[in-house]
Amino acid sequence: MPQRKIIHVDCDCFYAAVEMRDDPTLRDVPLAVGGAEGRGVVTTCNYRARAFGVRSAMPGSEARRLCPGLVTVPPDMARYRAASQQVMAILREMTDLVEPLSLDEAFLDVSDITDHRGSATLMARYLRERVRQEVGITISAGVAPNKFLAKIASDWRKPDGLFVITPEQVPEFVESLPVEKLFGVGQVTAAKLHSMGVKTCGDMQLLGVDTLIEKFGKQGYRLFEMAAGRDERPVIVSRVAKSVSVERTFSQDLPDKTACETVMPALVADLNLRLARKGRQKPIHKLFVKIRYSDFSTHTLERVRESVAEPEVADYQPLLDELVTRADRPVRLLGVGVRFRSDEAPVTQLRLFD
């Protein structure tokens, strides 16, 4: 079986990060979302608050006792969902194999992605920079051969961190990993393992799979596999892809529209490769072009083109002509893509509103 490349991304203190992004006066104070009064509990807090011992799920009264200067704001789920959708859209531009675990974290399987020289580390750096620039928050990322290790890695250098565990590093990494880091090991299981003299994954490997199964049943086998750094769970995609796109951020801005037209053939060729790799999709409903200028302003234009089976450069030229109103404006990013027809609404209705 080919070696998987898994990225786990986790937004740093997500709700609090959105609040600090939207209100700069909150950036330099200890901040909690929720827990303002009565029996309310803290939903999320920033790292300044965490330095005082404030934690999520803590009663607000206890949080204020630990941190008398704590500033609290009520949750605004609509804004958090909007930010989450932005983050997830950026992840899905990299690969369709995205498994969201909540609003603020997800697994990606990038094993077959050839962008960024096929390097999952470079992909993770790219995703972190995109989210920083476009969403205005930071994410931590972990890169590893499986989901279990990738999730541990994303927490290793929080906040705003990137940690990579290569296949060769797995045996040494898990050797000294505390058993508390294993998924499903809470206080009760950890105490039971400690009573058996097991404090690290290395200890668990020495104990052996038979003893673990005898003591913990089926969970014992799973514990042993994780202790050896093994996890065969696939990234589970519950969402059907609605679009496929490719884009390039240029290390030096493209000087003008003519330069954009020069790189379009390569972009469209990459798009068709990606479409072929994904196998038979729903019929194409729209084509779109995305452009980001040197001042970071971003514009997307899409048009219904249902007769297109395999997009060509000529199909995108009218969109580029309409989108680029100033021929000499430097371009930082250029992208092309397709949106598939949705079965959720009649095609005639879609046409009516296009």
Q: Hey, which residues are catalytic here?
A: 105
Beta 6-11 vs 139-144: how paired, if at all? antiparallel
Burial classification of residue 11, based on how many CB atoms lie within 10 Å of its CB (0-12 exposed, 13-18 middle, 19 or more buried)? buried
Was 96 annotated as part of a binding site? no
Is the link from the previous residue into 159 a cis peptide, with omega within 30 of 0? yes
Residue 141 three-state SS: strand
Residue 317 backbone zone (phi > 0: left; psi -120 to 50: alpha; other: beta): alpha
Integer Cα distance of 187 and 173 in angstroms:
22
Integer Cα distance of 128 and 25 in angstroms:
24
Tell me the β-bridge partners of 41.
59
Residue reference for tokens 């997009």: 311
Q: Taking a C-beta distance cutoff of 8 angstroms, is the pair 143, 121 a contact? A: yes
Q: Taking a C-beta distance cutoff of 8 angstroms, is the pair 109, 5 a contact? A: yes
Was 10 annotated as part of a binding site? yes
Binding-site positions: 10, 104
Binding-site positions for Mg(2+): 10, 104
